[in-house]
Amino acid sequence: MAAYAARDEHIPRVRELTGEENHLTGSGDWLSDSQHSQASGDREGQIQGYASATSVSPGQVIDFHVSVHEEQSYRITVFRLGHYGDKGARLRTTSAKLQGKRRTVPGADPETGVIACDWPVSWSLRIPSGWRSGLYQAVFTTEGGKVSSTPFVVREPARASDILMVVPFTTYQAYNMWPQDGRTGKNLYRGYNKAGEVGGPEERAHKVSFDRPYSDAGIPNRFEMDTSFVRWAERSGLDVTYASSLDLHDGTIDTSKYRALFFAGHDEYWSKPMLDSARKAVSARSHLAFLGANNIYFHVRMEPSAGGRANRVMACYKSTPDPAPGRAGVTTRWRDISPDQQHAEQGLLGIQFNGIVQKPAPLVVKGSGHWLWAGTGLREGARLPKMVGVEADGYDPKAPSPAGSRRTLLAESPYEAKRLTASQPRVQHTALTEMPNGAMVFVAGTFHWALALDSAPHRNKHIQTATRNLVNRMLHKEA
């Protein structure tokens, strides 16, 4: 199939700044959440699709593989996500009318649980040279109005922007339980039992494939954390380019040339090369900012697809014996790879995951005189309601810390952590760890920090100011 080159007849020439890009006309037709009234579902599978890559550069081709339950025409519409006058996206191109066909939903591999589609290419898009780096969404719409989607990144690896935002596609796939049809779907947590109910670890997969749609409307788990940061950053006029977590894995992106790397979403699943890329950035005095919690928690191994395409399968055996651990060790929690926890995530981040939040709790400000809190008007012990949510991080005195570093705790928030039988008290921390070479690693320690930037009802002006202070300091501007 010949690649379709999107036409930019009415698009001005490429801007230098992301802020200028966001002055262009926006569109509200992108899929912002999985509750869309016309969203496709896994049981019916009215229309669903996946992309051939998590990221692509201008001039390269990305393929889309689409299945339509009933033969009918459909279109693929591509949006760049951003601010765009509060619309949240900008329409970039639309395919010609395509004829849909129903494709086979594969069964799970009996040994690994992997579910991998081998659908033919439905439409190919060559990324125009004028397209800015960004988080994009392809929306699939049938003639009957049913919709689903899949995200991807357009990168600009040759341009050293101030900030590189890394989109956590490895974690997206870890949680993707497509198809949620009552019998087939699996992810790295659970699968269906013989009664057609969602089971536990016994039914889960040990490997997941990128060659499959995301469940239902195609919105990955916790996608709103990433889109919230994207809108805030681009509305603020920051100089941002984008990459997939797999770009850190395969070295497509040189992390050492950016002033700061931002991980805004749920970034739990990391390969050894991904971690090496982050450490390379810190060694080059680039800064890291994690705006969620539970980061760099599980070690994963990337493998080729059955057809030989690199990095299309992700393995994570967790508590099950790993049959092929390789040089990087078994695919379990990083902190469990060795008995002395020398690989624990706190060794880079300064704090680490310590619990699932029973119900949202206030974030309690610590060190209010620190530059992070400048201009917020917050005093010591101030409580920001419901800011500690979903999962939380904290300092663990038994875990390793970065050698020679200085850690500053900027929030100290009691919360109740979920357990199987009862909640248990925990303390959440927000932390800034300064390395001997001047590089900073910031960890918010809660999922609600990223949402507070630009996601109703979580918006919080204090968190917005603090994040701007963080950006300014990382970019060597006065906070």
Q: Which of 223, 256, 283 is the last residue of a domain?
A: 223
In order, the DSSP letters of 277-318 are HHHHHHHTT-EEEE-SSS-S-EEEEEE--TT--TT-EEE--T
pLDDT at 15 over 60: no
* Residue 363 falls inside a structural domain: yes
> How remote is the C-alpha of 414 from its chain's centroid?
27
CATH of the domain at 286: 3.40.50
The enclosing H or E element of 18 equals helix 18-21
230 with 304, same domain? yes
Residues 46 and 63 in one domain: yes
pLDDT at residue 35 above 70?
no
Residues 137 and 252 in one domain: no
- Picking from 223, 250, 266, the residue at the C-terminal end of a domain is 223
- Rounded to whole angstroms, the Cα distance separating 125 from 75 reads 13
Q: Is the pTM of this model over 0.85?
A: yes
**What integer pLDDT is reported at residue 34 of this predicted model?**
59
Quick one: average pLDDT of 276-286?
98
What's the pLDDT at 424? 75
pLDDT in tens, 396-427: 999 999 999 999 999 999 999 998 556 678 99
Tell me: pLDDT of 4 over 80.
no
Vertex 445: Cα angle to 171 and 80 (nearest 5): 50
Instruction: Give the per-residue pLDDT at 7.
Output: 37
Kindly state whether residues 158 and 290 are assigned to the same domain. no
| Angle (nearest 5°) at CA 215 between 213 and 217 | 95
Q: Is residue 479 part of a domain?
A: no
Q: DSSP secondary structure string, 104-131?
A: --PPPPTTT------PPP-EEEEPPTTP
Q: What's the average model confidence in pLDDT over 347-370?
A: 97
For the ranges 31-40, 212-221, 272-281, the lowest mean pLDDT is seen at: 31-40
- Under 8 Å between Cβ of 365 and 410: yes
288 occurs within a structural domain: yes
Q: φ and ψ at 49, to 5 degrees?
A: -160, 170
Residues 6 or more apart whose CB falls under 8 angstroms from that of 96 comprise 4, 75
Looking at residue 349, its pLDDT comes to: 98
My answer on whether 142 and 23 are in the same domain is yes
Q: Are residues 254 and 131 in the same domain?
A: no
Q: In this structure, what are the phi and psi dihedrals at residue 466, rounded to the nearest 5 degrees? A: -60, -40
Q: Are 31 and 217 in contact (CB under 8 A)?
A: yes
How far apart, in whole angstroms, are the C-alpha atoms of residue 240 and residue 228?
14
136 located within any domain: yes
Question: What is the span of the domain harbouring residue 256?
Answer: 224-474
Q: Is 197 in the same domain as 329?
A: no
Average pLDDT for 136-159? 96
**pLDDT of res. 22:** 84
Confidence of residue 339 (pLDDT cuts 50, 70, 90): confident
Q: Tell me, what amino acid is at 256?
A: S
Query: With 50 as the cut, is the pLDDT of residue 141 above it?
Result: yes
Of the three residues 206, 223, 240, the one that is the final residue of a domain is 223
Q: Could you tell me the CATH number of the domain that includes residue 86?
A: 2.60.40.1930
Residues 188, 286 within the same domain: no
- Is residue 275 assigned to a domain? yes
Average pLDDT for the chain = 94
Does pLDDT of 133 surpass 90?
yes
Per the CB < 8 A criterion, the answer to whether 350 and 389 are in contact is no
Residue (of 265, 260, 262) closest to 446 by Cα position? 265
Pick the more confident residue, 423 or 244: 244
Looking at the fold, whether 316 and 207 belong to one and the same domain comes out as no
Strand partners, 453: none
Q: Do 217 and 231 reside in the same domain of the chain?
A: no
Q: Record the tokens describing residue 357, joined without a space.
A: 């939040």
Question: Do 192 and 145 fall within a single domain?
Answer: yes
Looking at residue 421, what is its pLDDT?
Answer: 59
Structure tokens at 86: 């509060």
- Residue 479 has what pLDDT? 46
- Residues 258 and 121 occupy one common structural domain: no
Instruction: Report whether pLDDT(90) > 80.
Output: yes
Instruction: Give the pLDDT confidence of 150-198 residue by residue, as tens digits.
Output: 999 999 999 999 999 999 999 999 999 999 999 999 999 999 999 999 9
Q: Is residue 387 part of a domain?
A: yes
| Predicted local distance difference test score (pLDDT) of residue 297 | 98
Give yes or no for residue 12 having a pLDDT over 60.
Answer: no
Answer whether residue 90 is part of any domain.
yes
Instruction: Assign 9 a pLDDT band (cuts: 50, 70, 90).
Output: very low
Is 278 a domain residue?
yes
Could you give the number of structural domains in the chain? 2
Output the pLDDT for position 32: 83
